[in-house]
Chains A and B, each alone.
Chain A
Amino acid sequence: MKDTTEGYVTADGRQIGGVLMEMKNITLQFGGVKAITDISFDIREGEIRAIIGPNGAGKSSMLNVISGFYVPTVGEVWFHGKKRPQMKPYQVAQQGIARTFQNIALFKGMSTLDNIMTGRMTMMNTNLVTQAMWWGKAQREESEHREKVEKIIDFLEIQAIRKTPVGRLPYGLQKRVELGRALAAEPKLLLLDEPMAGMNVEEKEDMSRFILDVNDEFGTTIALIEHDMGVVMDLSDRVVVMDYGKKIGDGTPDEVRNNQEVIDAYLGVEHD
């Protein structure tokens, strides 16, 4: 395995920094079911880190641990070099970790614009009293946020659906709006749970481009779960492979692809 202690330079010349997030000996148990068994890995600043594995391997569970939706039974989460105390999901979000969901969790009754605006929740710091007393100032702040949101809408090429309630949008576009909402938080770490599942080839290409651009232009660190091996190989700098809750591989796409245990895990298993 490549030694990555000091950070490294990727093949396409991007500088990857130190460790941003480190998972230490994570075990997650639901009653008798062990979704994750003693897994450790790290995510480096500026990196695109993929988590792959067959269905039920525990990938989403791992993302849920990172984003605070699940509390690990054993193990520690380190962020910015500090051990993270147990946190509620909304507190994790306030720390600069944004995410999307495998099954899309949007505000279905709200417009695209409003959905992405809620993504800026953590960036808004006026409280109720100041908003009531300095209405003008609050509205100025609101329009600044609105500007940022319009930039994201342009970036994701979804101007046409700005005012549409997202519940009415086709699946592929909903995924895109959900990415937009996560981006609106200007996250330090972006977690994407199967951002391309159920998309056609063209939509997948668009989404891949967006993910690369986000990483490139804003330097956002990204951890993503993906089943499409082609996509994983193209996008990611390093890959964690899970199977039955255990980590069976960790390294560059090439290293992982040639890892016998990984090959065995994938043999005869259907993936979309």
Chain B
Amino acid sequence: MSDNLIFAMEVTLNGLMAGVLYALVALGFVLIYKASGIFNFAQGVMALFAAMTLVGIQKGQVPFSHLINAILGTEFHYFGWTMHSFLAIALTVVVMIGLALAVQQLIFRHLVGQEPIILFMATIGLAYLLEGLADLMWGSEIKTLNVCLTGDTCLPQGLNATIDSITYNIFGYGFFIDNLDITATVVAAILVAALVAFSQYTKQGRAMRAVADDHQAALSVGISLKFIWVLVWSIAGFVALVAGIMWGAKSGVQFSLSLIALKALPVLMLGGFTSIPGAIVGGLIIGVGEKVFEFAIGPMVGGATENWFAYVLALIFLVFRPQGLFGEKIIERV
């Protein structure tokens, strides 16, 4: 087997793993869009906010400490605990549910029945608000995030030795696959399976599908739209937290994290705004596509194709299949 082909396989595998994260963020978009018609620009920032909150709680950081200290003239920065990861994740989930409630009560409750573009603008506002809030609560420095089961069994980092040796034995070249990427893929798969089970087999899941399908009909069978919207934002918040953990563990929790939201846009154009399988497949295609393109074509055009490849691919899709791979045919909402 030629060296190039072997390299290409490694690149493809790595692309798949990168795609998982795009898919997770896109999934959050799709959930909210289906249930409420809101295109949530803030989904990426929610991942950032969730990751920062998790780190802050883990390390016992005092929220709003700069503000508090400036007003009271104190020097109070840490509570002085290091919290177990699971407990910290549980508390972060509570914060994300609180955020979902606040978003519904303070913003979207007042915008029911407004044009989609107005709802979209509101989410842009929300994105910047959340970014500012994250900064104010937890500070703007880059943080390292590590999630541990027990004392020192943490999210694994670095090269996976098994894959390295197996591929070395087969191809005479060991693939470099990051342990963290493998974990992320497994976690994402579990998350998606759980979401599917939830929406198919629980009362609330069925209500969620009902709301996504027809608001009027959903009301007539006794479903509270408000409850479902809070539920959906909470789930999207949870998905954001998972994406934030994976991304943050890999590259540190920093504000550039919110930029992954922008990568989720081409993913959505590929997969369709209303399709959960579309978000997943779209994410994987973009992940693999941009890595392989960079590997194969990058050197000829001076590299850095990863910055634009996804958008150009999405543009081509928009022209030929505007509803995306799996999206429903575009029809006017009435």
A residues contacting B by CB (< 8 A) are: 67, 69, 88-91, 93-94, 98-99, 101, 105-110, 114, 117-119, 121-122, 124, 126, 128, 131, 138-139, 142, 181-182, 185
Contacts and interface: CB of A to CB of B under 8 A. Distances in A.
Contact of A89 (B204, B206, B219): B219
Greatest chain A CB density within 10 A among B214, B225, B328 is at B214
A12 to B, nearest CB: 31
Nearest to A124: B203
Contacts of B219: 69, 88-90, 93
Given A67-B220, A69-B219, A89-B219, A109 B203 contact: no
Interface of B: 201-204, 206-207, 209-210, 213-214, 216-225, 328
Nearest to B200: A114
A147 B222 CA distance: 20
B59 to A, nearest CB: 30
B209 A131 contact: no
A185 B203 contact: no
Contacts of A119: 221
Contacts of B216: 69, 101, 105
A118 B207 contact: yes
B224 A90 contact: yes
A105 B206 CA distance: 16
A90 B202 contact: no
Contact of B221 (A108, A138, A142, A181): A181
B210 A107 contact: yes
A94 B222 contact: yes
Greatest chain B CB density within 10 A among A90, A131, A142 is at A90
A126 B222 contact: no
B217 A106 contact: yes
A90 B222 CA distance: 4
A109 B201 contact: no
Closest 3 CB pairs of A and B: A93-B222, A105-B217, A107-B213
Contacts of B224: 88, 90
A185 B217 contact: no
A124 to B, nearest CB: 5
A131 B203 contact: yes
B213 A131 contact: no
Contacts of A139: 201
Given A69-B219, A88-B219, A118-B221, A107 B214 contact: yes
A202 to B, nearest CB: 27
A110 B213 contact: yes
Contact of B203 (A67, A94, A114, A126): A126
Contacts of A118: 206-207, 210, 217-218, 221, 223
A142 B210 contact: no
17 contacts: A67-B220, A90-B224, A93-B219, A105-B216, A105-B217, A107-B209, A107-B218, A110-B213, A117-B206, A118-B210, A118-B218, A118-B221, A121-B207, A121-B223, A122-B221, A126-B203, A128-B202
